[in-house]
């Protein structure tokens, strides 16, 4: 399966242009859509999920016209929205059974087998009788995936699912997505760089409604390799560095300010060459240091 988004734009009635000419081609596997808050991720997710109209452009899932054949798309789509509210007073098993009935799985044996296998897959089987109100954040998100998987979707969309999860829960959740994505398209939107780093086979960086990079995470890292230098500085020194160099990012680290700067030429004394991470790519792109650079291959399909 292939999802092909071409020149998608969206302006809300209040004049905010949330998507600007977005073009992406997404195949089976885990696709990470990375961008800061307000970048347009949810607008794109909701449009693919047929929950809101596009302004212009097209989306095709193989031959299926997503923007026109909404009912057909919904049959093969699983969606976990950003604000996933659950009924608090029912158990996971009860609610999954209920959703399965709503989705037309009428044979009770088939339904109970499906519910069981989803609970096992999402590691919730032991907690199946527990009321959802007593679930932790991570358990709720895994339940969200279990419900999204009912009906054997070909494409699964999860919008900012890891915000608020502790590291163990986050890893467990991302591993679950990675497993699922062996057979289907899974689109994961996130503002957390680590979410994309290890498991996504494809990614895009989006900011202010525009796709600034699309490709493989390793490919992205290679493109900034050898260009990023680190300095540890006091506040005053940091200001001086910022005035002279292209700062990619800065953060506090053990009482000093750790600055990453971009340089095409080799830097010495104050600086050390840094092993480049996806975070450097992300901040270089978001801060406009490499925007429209030929060093980046932006899909124009």
Residues that bind ligand ADP (CB under 6 A): 12, 14, 16, 18, 35, 37-43
Looking up tokens 């004049």, which residue turns up?
15
Distance of alpha carbon 293 from its chain centroid, rounded?
24
User: In 3D, which of 131, 127, 130, 125 has the Cα closest to residue 113?
Assistant: 125
Closer to ligand ADP by CB, 91 or 207: give it.
Answer: 207
Q: Rounded CA gap, 230 and 262, in Å?
A: 9
Residues constituting the chain: 301
Work out how close the CB of 132 gets to ligand ADP at its nearest, in angstroms, rounded to a whole number: 25
Q: Taking a C-beta distance cutoff of 8 angstroms, is the pair 158, 190 a contact?
A: no
Compute the least distance from the CB of residue 12 to ligand ADP, in Å. Answer: 3
Closest CB to ligand ADP among 23 and 42? 42
In the bound complex, what is the minimum distance in angstroms from residue 278's beta carbon to ligand ADP? Answer: 18
Q: Cα separation of 210 and 33, whole Å?
A: 12
| Shortest Å distance, C-beta 83 to ligand ADP | 11
Minimum Å gap between C-beta 43 and ligand ADP is 3
Q: Residue 186 class from Cβ within 10 Å (0-12 exposed, 13-18 middle, 19+ buried)?
A: buried
Instruction: State the nearest-atom distance from the C-beta of 82 to ligand ADP, in Å.
Output: 7
In the three-class reduction of DSSP (H, G, I as helix; E, B as strand; rest coil), residue 193 is classed as: helix
- Closest to ligand ADP by CB, 39 vs 220, is 39
Q: Measured from the CB of residue 32, what is the shortest distance to ligand ADP in angstroms?
A: 13
If the CB atoms of residues 42 and 122 are measured against ligand ADP, the closer one turns out to be 42
CB-count burial class (<10 Å; 0-12, 13-18, 19+) for 210: middle
CA atoms within 13 A on the CB side of 26: 28
Nearer to ligand ADP, 14 or 236 (CB): 14
CA atoms lying within 13 Å on the CB side of residue 294: 0
Rounded CA separation 8/21 (Å): 5
The nearer residue to ligand ADP, 14 or 292, going by C-beta atoms, is 14
Q: Considering Cα of 121, then 127, then 131, then 134, what sign does the dihedral take?
A: negative
Considering the complex, state which of residue 19 and residue 199 has its C-beta at the smaller distance from ligand ADP: 19
């Amino acid at each position: 399966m292939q999802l092909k988004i071409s020149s998608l734009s969206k302006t809300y009635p209040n004049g905010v242009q949330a998507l600007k000419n977005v073009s992406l081609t997404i195949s089976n596997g885990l696709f990470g859509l990375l961008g800061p808050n307000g970048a347009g991720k949810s607008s794109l997710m909701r449009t693919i999920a047929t929950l809101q109209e596009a302004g212009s452009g097209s989306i095709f899932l193989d031959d299926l016209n997503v923007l026109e054949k909404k009912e057909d798309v919904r049959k093969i789509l699983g969606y976990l929205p950003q604000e996933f509210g659950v009924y608090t007073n029912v158990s996971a098993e009860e609610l999954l059974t209920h959703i399965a009935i709503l989705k037309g799985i009428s044979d009770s044996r088939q339904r109970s087998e499906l519910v069981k296998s989803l609970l096992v897959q999402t590691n919730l089987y032991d907690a199946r009788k527990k009321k959802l109100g007593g679930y932790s954040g991570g358990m709720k998100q895994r339940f969200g995936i279990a419900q999204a998987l009912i009906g054997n979707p070909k494409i699964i969309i999860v919008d900012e699912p890891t915000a608020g999860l502790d590291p163990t829960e986050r890893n467990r959740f991302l591993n679950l997505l990675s497993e699922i994505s062996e057979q289907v398209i899974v689109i994961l939107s996130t503002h957390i760089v680590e979410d994309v780093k290890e498991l996504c086979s494809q990614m895009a960086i989006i900011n202010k409604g525009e796709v600034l990079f699309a490709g493989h995470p390793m490919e992205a890292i290679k493109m900034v390799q050898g260009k990023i230098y680190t300095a540890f500085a006091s506040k005053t020194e940091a200001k001086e560095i910022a005035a002279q160099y292209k700062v990619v990012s800065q953060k506090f680290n053990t009482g000093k300010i750790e600055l990453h700067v971009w340089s095409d030429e080799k830097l010495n004394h104050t600086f050390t060459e840094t092993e480049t991470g996806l975070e450097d790519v992300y901040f270089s792109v978001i801060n406009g240091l490499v925007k429209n650079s030929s060093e980046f291959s932006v899909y124009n399909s």
